[in-house]
Amino acid sequence: MGRDLNVIGSDNVTAIGLGTWGIGGYETPDYSRDKESVEALRYGLELGINLIDTAEFYGAGHSEELVGKAIRDFEREGLFIISKVWPTNFGYEKAKRAARASAKRLGTYIDLYLLHWPGDSWERIEETLHALEELVDDGLIRYIGVSNFDLELLRKSHEVMRKYEIVANEVKYSLKDRWPETSGLLEYMKREKIALIAYTPLEKGSLARNECLAEIGRKYGKSAAQVALNYLIWEDNVIAIPKAGSKAHIEENAGAMGWRLSKEDREKVKLCVG
């Protein structure tokens, strides 16, 4: 189930992760489903998924708190935790404070820390990237990445790093929205050994209901959702992070790993969504 991506050191990161957007709230905290959310995340970890993606913006930090509770009884070295800094916290000192606050809510260091969105100032992006390099030296974070960066901005960001490399870019990517392929972003990231972390990989469940994908999946004993996810993680540098909404969905998502669409079927899959 795991893979050594090379792009994230020697970490054996699972190709399917646990996404937490909406867990613990959206733009404000929601405490109504805390128990179920923590149980769902723990279930995913028990199944062998070892990557959790969160952010300070999710539930105004409450998502990070729930992740911290979920991982408490697991061996930390076997997990890979991603969090993100929101553009309002870009800047040398503000980014450092934001990272410390995220680590406090998580109760641990952060494996991969991302710039959540580009924001509106290149100077602030550059300043923040250099602040994150200091955080690596401090041991608060292990790796640096970005999110929602197009090819031009990723390349520009990659070039200004002083001490460490950008190892990941988290972007929207699914069978229905294959822009990383058509824009050249995926090819560039493969060449530079940068991980592509795909969010909304099931298009809010619509791909799970695609009968064409289900028909292809029957050949492998897999569901439409598993086919849609396997299409993405077929590439060695791609990780998909569907939302960890329920135990049933997490179990189904985990089943997207451990097998591989044939090249022929992977091409057929593209035709299922036009």
**Residues tagged active-site:** 58
The strand pairing partners of 2, in sequence order, are: 14
How far is it, in rounded angstroms, from Cα 97 to Cα 226? 39
- Of 117, 59, 113, 130, which is closest to residue 87 (Cα–Cα)? 117
Neighbour-count burial for 103-128, b at 16+ CB within 10 Å, e otherwise: bebbeebbbbbbbbbbeeeeebbebb
Residue whose structure tokens are 């509106």: 120
CB burial class (10 A; 0-12, 13-18, 19+) of residue 220? middle
Instruction: Please give the single-letter amino acid code of residue 174.
Output: S
How far is it, in rounded angstroms, from Cα 230 to Cα 142? 28
How far is it, in rounded angstroms, from Cα 111 to Cα 151? 24
Give the DSSP H or E segment for 53. strand 51-53
How far is it, in rounded angstroms, from Cα 136 to Cα 258? 33
Does residue 7 contact residue 167 with C-beta atoms inside 8 Å?
Answer: yes
Dihedrals phi, psi of 88, to nearest 5 degrees: -65, -15
DSSP 3-state of 143: strand
